[in-house]
């Protein structure tokens, strides 16, 4: 009877979650000012609504239901937009897709994905924003299919974001205990923050997938593999750096110097190796694209200006940009003090620290966007999943101990 009650409650929670997602997709289809978002919502709300009904019936396993949702609300809209774009529609991709593809072309032609400041200034005013590549050099690899094979739906950078993300998430989930994977799967494969991003832009999803894989490896004390995973993420985007720092402390606490050394070789060595060609080709171009532009010192303003606290402070107060950066620094110092006083004892604790740190950064940075919240949402889900895994492990250990005691107890 208890199991039936829990099952009913779970079905209701899942149905409510997918119903809310359907409502979000419907509102997006009707009200968004971004055409790729509207196109996503027009398809995605059907998938979410169907998932809500399926969750109520309980006719399909939760893991299979998440897979259905991922296909229906992420992959189908993505492929639809890629096909429409290849057919001539110019409003079926966000600007970051164009930026990554142009970075791939520049990487192929010049050996660096970055333009320097004079080259960006020489572009027509309306094209200067797309001249910036505010990513690490590895991101340009996703633009190589279009640069080498021409314009087709399957050379769209989002297709390759999706291929890599799907494989990495599947592998990360396989490293976790099966009973504890649904929450992570829902956060990464079903939450609109992720599915909308993958279908319309997508560049954050491979970074997130690699970071989650790194924490999953760390949960199994495979710190060399964890370092390689987060190092590859760092070669794509600087968002991976906080994850690398926290996992380095975990490696040190768990395995001391040998584990920390193995982890650091991949976590920091791979991004540095990826940086060498662009730095040799033009150090100032890298600084202009990856440091000056995101911090608001480029020739044009970043479009990442969601009304979060950091942006509101920067816009509303005198010297607001410096105030928000000062608050961000205070938050970083507080987080550093927390890590020194209580370094993470396990992968779950590391995931929680990363979630808190990234939330503070997203909230307080002057130029930011709501979509970046997909990172802390996924890390919080992983934290909950790893807590469940630890509880299951403890319960299994207690059961084995009790069985041994029962077998060895003297009989009357």
Report pLDDT digits (tens) over 58-75: 888 999 999 999 999 999
Distance CA 383, CA 375 (A): 12
Handedness of CA 201, 203, 204, 206 (dihedral sign): positive
Distance CA 175, CA 216 (A): 6
Query: Which tokens hold the place of 363?
Result: 């909230």
- Which pTM value belongs to this model? 0.91
Please enumerate in sequence order all residues whose Cβ is within 8 A of that of 206, keeping only pairs 6 or more positions apart, or say none. 142, 161, 164, 165, 168, 233, 236
Give mean pLDDT, residues 16-40: 97
Q: 162 pLDDT exceeds 60?
A: yes
Would you give the end-to-end CA distance of the chain in angstroms?
35
- Closest by CA to 209, choosing from 163, 177, 242, is 163
Distance CA 339, CA 179 (A): 30
Q: Which of 163-177, 287-301, 393-407 has the lowest mean pLDDT?
A: 393-407
Per-residue b or e along 181-211, where b marks 16 or more CB atoms closer than 10 Å to that residue's CB: bbbbbbbbbbbbbbbbbbbbbbbbbbbbbbb
Confidence of residue 412 (pLDDT cuts 50, 70, 90): very low
Q: What is the pLDDT of residues 79-135, one digit of tens each?
A: 999 999 999 999 999 999 999 999 999 999 999 999 999 999 999 988 999 999 999
Distance CA 399, CA 392 (A): 10
Residue 316: per-residue pLDDT: 83
Confidence of residue 48 (pLDDT cuts 50, 70, 90): very high
Distance CA 23, CA 321 (A): 35
DSSP code for 58: T
DSSP code for 411: P
**What is the helix (H) or strand (E) element at residue 128, kind and residue range?**
helix 128-131
Give the CA angle between residues 77, 63, 28 to the nearest 5°. 30
Q: 7 pLDDT exceeds 90?
A: no
Domain boundaries, the chain: 1-92, 157-396
Residue 390: per-residue pLDDT: 52
- What is the maximal distance between C-alpha atoms in the chain? 93
Give mean pLDDT, residues 391-403: 42
Q: What is the pLDDT of residues 240-273, one digit of tens each?
A: 999 999 999 999 998 788 899 999 999 999 999 9
Give the CA angle between residues 273, 210, 153 to the nearest 5°. 95
CA distances from 76 to 38, 44, 98, 223, 276 (A): 14, 9, 20, 36, 38
Torsion of Cα atoms, 55 then 61 then 64 then 66, to 10°: 40
- Closest by CA to 102, choosing from 65, 132, 82, 66, is 132
**Helix 309-316 / helix 347-364 crossing angle, nearest 10 deg:** 20
Give the CA angle between residues 269, 274, 276 to the nearest 5°. 95
């Amino acid at each position: 009877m208890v199991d039936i009650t829990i099952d009913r409650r779970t079905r209701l929670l899942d149905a409510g979650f997918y119903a809310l997602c359907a409502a979000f997709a419907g509102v997006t289809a009707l009200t968004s000012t971004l055409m790729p978002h509207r196109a996503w919502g027009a398809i995605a709300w059907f998938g979410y609504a169907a998932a809500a009904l399926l969750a109520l019936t309980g006719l399909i396993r939760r893991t299979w239901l998440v897979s259905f949702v991922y296909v229906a609300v992420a992959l189908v809209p993505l492929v639809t937009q890629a096909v429409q774009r290849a057919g001539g529609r110019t409003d079926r991709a966000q600007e970051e897709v164009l930026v990554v593809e142009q970075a791939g072309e520049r990487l192929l032609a010049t050996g660096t994905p970055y333009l320097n400041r004079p080259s960006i200034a020489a572009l027509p005013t309306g094209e200067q924003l797309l001249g910036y590549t505010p990513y690490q050099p590895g991101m340009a690899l996703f633009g190589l299919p279009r640069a080498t094979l021409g314009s087709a739906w399957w050379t769209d950078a989002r297709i390759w974001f999706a291929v890599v993300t799907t494989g990495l998430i599947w592998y990360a989930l396989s490293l976790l205990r099966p009973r504890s994977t649904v929450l992570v799967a829902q956060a990464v494969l079903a939450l609109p923050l992720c599915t909308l991003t993958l279908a319309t832009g997508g560049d954050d999803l491979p970074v997130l997938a690699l970071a989650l894989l790194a924490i999953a490896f760390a949960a199994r004390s495979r710190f060399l593999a964890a370092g390689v995973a987060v190092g590859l993420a760092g070669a794509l985007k600087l968002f991976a750096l906080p994850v690398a720092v926290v996992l380095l402390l975990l490696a040190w606490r768990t395995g001391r110097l040998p584990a920390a050394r193995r982890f650091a070789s991949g976590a920091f060595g791979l991004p540095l190796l990826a940086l060498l060609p662009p730095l040799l080709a033009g150090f100032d171009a890298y600084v202009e694209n990856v440091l000056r532009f995101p911090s608001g010192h480029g020739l044009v303003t970043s479009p990442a200006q969601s009304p979060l606290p950091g942006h509101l402070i920067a816009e509303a107060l005198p010297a607001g940009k410096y105030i928000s950066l000062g608050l961000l620094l205070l938050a970083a110092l507080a987080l550093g003090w927390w890590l020194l006083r209580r370094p993470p004892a396990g992968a779950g604790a590391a995931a929680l620290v990363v979630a808190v740190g990234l939330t503070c950064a997203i909230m307080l940075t002057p130029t930011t966007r709501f979509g970046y919240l997909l990172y802390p949402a996924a890390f919080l889900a992983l934290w909950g999943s790893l807590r469940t895994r630890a509880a299951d492990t403890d319960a299994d250990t207690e059961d084995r101990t009790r069985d041994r005691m029962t077998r060895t107890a003297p009989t009357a």
